[in-house]
Amino acid sequence: MSAQPIPIRPEPTPNRAPAPSDPKRFQLRWPKAELDRLAARIQMDYRAAMGDHNRRMQRWRQYYRRWRQMVDPPAMGEEGTSNMPVPYIQWNVFVKWAKEMDSLFGDDAEIVAVPVGPSDAKTDKKISRYMTWRVFNSMKLLIPFCVFVFRKTLFGRTFAYSPWRRDTFTVKGKEVVDYEGPDFVPLWPDDFICPAEEVDNLQQFSFVIRRVRLTPEELLKGEENGEYQGITDNWDAIVNAARSGLRREYQGEEIKREKDEAEGLLYQRPLSAGEWIMVLEWYGKWRPVKKGPRGGTPTADEYDFTKREMHQHDFVIKYIWDINLIIGVQSLEDLYPLKKNRRPFVEASAVKDGSYWGMGMAEQLINLEDELRVNTNLATEGAQFAASPPIGYRPSSNFNADTFKLEPGLPIPLDDPQRDLRQIEIKTDINVATWKEQTTLAYGEKLTGQSDLQMGRQSDRPNAPRTARQTMALLEEGNVRISLDTKTLREDMAAVLSHFWDLEYMFASEETFFRVTEEDADGLFEVNNGGSILTLEERDGRYDFRLQFANSVYSREAKKEQALARYQLDLQNPTVVQNPQALWEVTCQAHEALGDPNFADLVPRPGTPDLPVDPKVEWTRLLQGEEIHVNPMDNDLVHMTRHMRDLQEAEEDPAHSDPDAVAKLAMHYHEHIQQLQQKKIQQAIVEQAAQAVNTLASPLAFPRGLFGNPPTQPPGNPAAVPPQLYSGHPEGLHGNV
């Protein structure tokens, strides 16, 4: 029979789909014959894909062993030989991992929404702030994405399961929502199984299988939410399988078994584990049976197109392998109706070279690590031979090689020491091993772009840079190589953010509260009590998302130097110094570059100054009915000349002139005359004051002294005549009387 969803709630509106965590989960009730056919298909796909999957897992298993620095047991008779692993892959992965996480989740990282349509630009700033809050604060994505980026760096490709999730708990009989939003669960490479097909992304595979282990309690709650079906009817079989089932498969979980060995625990059949059962989630294409009396035959063959539809549809089938039971049948078109790529997974790759399973850092460096390991162990053995060289002895002598142990000052009884015992001298040239190690490390630097300086340590290469300019040149060249990986990471992150937004658009409530400060809002949208509301209408748009990476340490230091240099130049520029707003802006930028974002709280922004207006613009404003005023910074003569010309033209053509504007312009002209007279009077007063200051600067400005005493005459000049200066009294204004 055809698929019929179970109607539990009213049908959703066209612009919002039912959340997958809602009770309405579109469980399809198909007949047993159809379910058995689906179970056989999943078993066949799983077995066929595991053969190709295991080959890849065997290779990745070696990469994981290198990451955990696990050493194979030595062969018989070689227990005492040097076998130290050089952590070359480990330290390069750590550095690459740290750089990418610092770029993604640094202090100044943010998400930018790029509107697709013209009308979407009205809310792009609010969408940007909402997505920044959702990813960095609400989802708590730091730790899950750290695992996601690590597996991409080590293996070359990584996957994460990302549906809509709604977590609740009960308090005094009332349901409390702990979290509702996009989920992000990084997957072990073992748990994402796909066929050997040439594709560009996981949505193009004919099927993919997610392997997950759940408890019977989780299955029972999932049935209550509509996520599963048939759990209660098969409860005894499910619990018995969960009590006695394997925790690790013998094939297909090689990487997890390496993890178990590194952790020192046995997860395959642990004695202390609880109830767990393996569930296979099969995301693939299936041709359902046609509707109507001619179709709907339960026994219709999979390729009987007279009874089945010709087009394939995307379904997710949830299957318990241990008891051969299908516990969920859902259409992805029902679960994600407004999404193009309906499989709820996201992925990322380290190298975009055209292949789906590209190189990771372990694959790039494994041969170099082998060479470094051999070189290091060879140098160790050479040093051991040089410190404890072999000894040759005559068999007929009294020397006992089985009990002999070389120690300082050890006496050895011999008949003829010159002939019975001889120390074989071995010279070891460590310089060759050092040269070989430096050469191998240089190969790795050229390959990854991660030099010693970018790892935060002093370079010990023979050709290490000796000047600051050489150091910066090497860092910049290394950054060119690293920027290639950064650009591809940005594109992968943009796809992940678009997936999150698609889930938000379909399943979020009509009004979603999010935290944002007034400073971040910048007056572009309303903020109340440290947050804002994103409505359904504001989400109704198309956006591309771009992650604005955080600045690196080098970039931040370079920006500090540039900000200080620019600030010094601005302080010497009269145009900036005489403009309060410009001076405040450059000072605020300098404080932010130096790590002080609170300058605006301490020093408010100055008001906008009243700037002069061109006289032609003033006449235009008068004709438009606006008011104009004289400005102290106006050049009154220029304004009066222009206004007189406008008045004369209006008098010559009174039919086309505006009498009200002419009258206002004439009044404005007289205001300029008055302002010009005031400026002349002020200029005269300033000139007189300047002359008085220059006069008062003379030492003889006060003939009676500062306190009324006459100044003494300079010695040796008795004929000196006191000057005729103003003494401070009216009678002395024109000289002595």
Tens digits of residue pLDDT in 6-58 = 333 333 333 444 454 444 468 898 888 889 999 999 999 999 999 888 889 99
Alpha helix positions (H), 24-141: 32-67, 88-105, 124-133
Tens digits of residue pLDDT in 421-442 = 666 666 767 777 777 777 777 7
pLDDT of 658 reads 86
Averaged pLDDT, 131-156:
92
The reply to whether 352 and 223 lie within a common domain is: yes
The reply to whether 145 and 218 lie within a common domain is: yes
The reply to whether 246 and 132 lie within a common domain is: yes
Which pLDDT band holds residue 416 (cuts at 50, 70, 90)? Answer: confident
pLDDT of 467 reads 57
Domain boundary among 568, 602, 636: 602
Q: Which residue has the higher pLDDT, 318 or 600?
A: 318
Residue 241 located in a structural domain: yes
- DSSP structure class, residue 233: T
Range of the domain at 565: 553-602
**Around 677, how many Cα atoms within 13 Å sit in the side-chain half-sphere?**
5
* One-letter amino acid for residue 414 of the chain: L
Across 75-84, 224-233, 639-648, least confident range: 75-84
Residue 377 located in a structural domain: no
Q: Output the CA angle 485-487-493, nearest 5 degrees.
A: 100
Residue 402 located in a structural domain: no
The reply to whether 44 and 67 lie within a common domain is: yes
The reply to whether 238 and 319 lie within a common domain is: yes
Q: Which residue has the higher pLDDT, 17 or 167?
A: 167
The reply to whether 571 and 666 lie within a common domain is: no
Residue 115: is its pLDDT beyond 80?
A: yes
* Pair of tokens at residue 34: 């159809």
**In whole angstroms, what is the distance from residue 669 CA to residue 646 CA?**
11
Averaged pLDDT, 309-324:
93
Q: Which residues contact 213 (CB under 8 A, 6 or more apart)?
A: 247, 276, 277, 278, 279
**In whole angstroms, what is the distance from residue 486 CA to residue 479 CA?**
10
The reply to whether 164 and 244 lie within a common domain is: yes
**In whole angstroms, what is the distance from residue 297 CA to residue 311 CA?**
17
Name the E strands within 410-510. 421-423
Residue 659: is its pLDDT beyond 90?
A: no
pLDDT of 520 reads 72
**In whole angstroms, what is the distance from residue 727 CA to residue 700 CA?**
10
Q: Which residue has the higher pLDDT, 351 or 703?
A: 351
Strand partners, 5: 28
pLDDT of 453 reads 57
**Residue (of 543, 155, 502) closest to 344 by Cα position:** 502
pLDDT of 433 reads 73
Question: Under a CB-based contact definition with an 8 Å cutoff, are residues 171 and 160 in contact?
Answer: no
Strand partners, 277: 214
Q: Which residue has the higher pLDDT, 400 or 566?
A: 566
pLDDT of 9 reads 32
**In whole angstroms, what is the distance from residue 117 CA to residue 123 CA?**
11
pLDDT of 117 reads 72
**Residue (of 278, 388, 271) closest to 323 by Cα position:** 278
Question: Under a CB-based contact definition with an 8 Å cutoff, are residues 328 and 318 in contact?
Answer: yes
Residue 415 located in a structural domain: no
- DSSP structure class, residue 118: G
pLDDT of 595 reads 76
Rounded to the nearest integer, the mean pLDDT of the chain is 79
Across 456-465, 523-532, 700-709, least confident range: 700-709
pLDDT of 588 reads 85
Averaged pLDDT, 416-421:
70
How much of the chain, in percent, has pLDDT values that exceed 70?
78
Which pLDDT band holds residue 501 (cuts at 50, 70, 90)? Answer: very high
**Residue (of 60, 355, 343) closest to 197 by Cα position:** 355
Question: Under a CB-based contact definition with an 8 Å cutoff, are residues 205 and 342 in contact?
Answer: no
Averaged pLDDT, 640-667:
88
**Residue (of 608, 600, 569, 567) closest to 586 by Cα position:** 567
Question: Under a CB-based contact definition with an 8 Å cutoff, are residues 27 and 226 in contact?
Answer: yes
Q: What is the CA radius of gyration of the chain?
A: 42
The reply to whether 249 and 322 lie within a common domain is: yes
Residue 490 located in a structural domain: no
pLDDT of 600 reads 79
The reply to whether 110 and 207 lie within a common domain is: yes
Domain boundary among 309, 330, 359: 359
**Residue (of 49, 70, 42) closest to 255 by Cα position:** 70
* Pair of tokens at residue 723: 């000057």
Position of tokens 């997950």?
Answer: 212
Q: Report the Cα 210 to chain-centroid distance in Å.
A: 27
Tens digits of residue pLDDT in 602-634 = 888 776 666 678 888 888 888 888 888 888 878
Interior/surface letters 355-367, b for 16+ CB within 10 angstroms, e for the rest: ebebbbbbbbbbe
Residue 610 located in a structural domain: no
pLDDT of 716 reads 45
How much of the chain, in percent, has pLDDT values that exceed 90?
25
Tens digits of residue pLDDT in 249-281 = 877 888 998 998 888 888 877 778 888 999 999
pLDDT of 182 reads 94
pLDDT of 702 reads 45
pLDDT of 107 reads 75
Strand partners, 211: 280
The reply to whether 210 and 340 lie within a common domain is: yes
Strand partners, 158: 348
Averaged pLDDT, 279-289:
93
Tens digits of residue pLDDT in 62-103 = 999 999 988 877 777 666 677 778 888 998 899 889 888 888
Residue 326: is its pLDDT beyond 70?
A: yes
pLDDT of 552 reads 60
pLDDT of 466 reads 54
Residue 502 located in a structural domain: no
* One-letter amino acid for residue 674 of the chain: Q
HEC profile of 168-191 = EEEECCEEEEEEEEECCEECCHHH
Question: Under a CB-based contact definition with an 8 Å cutoff, are residues 330 and 315 in contact?
Answer: yes
**Based on the structure, what is the number of domains in the chain?**
4
The reply to whether 151 and 257 lie within a common domain is: yes
Averaged pLDDT, 335-349:
92
The reply to whether 734 and 633 lie within a common domain is: no
Q: Which residue has the higher pLDDT, 484 or 327?
A: 327
Tens digits of residue pLDDT in 516-535 = 876 677 667 878 877 888 88
Which pLDDT band holds residue 555 (cuts at 50, 70, 90)? Answer: low
Which pLDDT band holds residue 737 (cuts at 50, 70, 90)? Answer: very low
Question: Under a CB-based contact definition with an 8 Å cutoff, are residues 153 and 159 in contact?
Answer: no
Residue 410 located in a structural domain: no
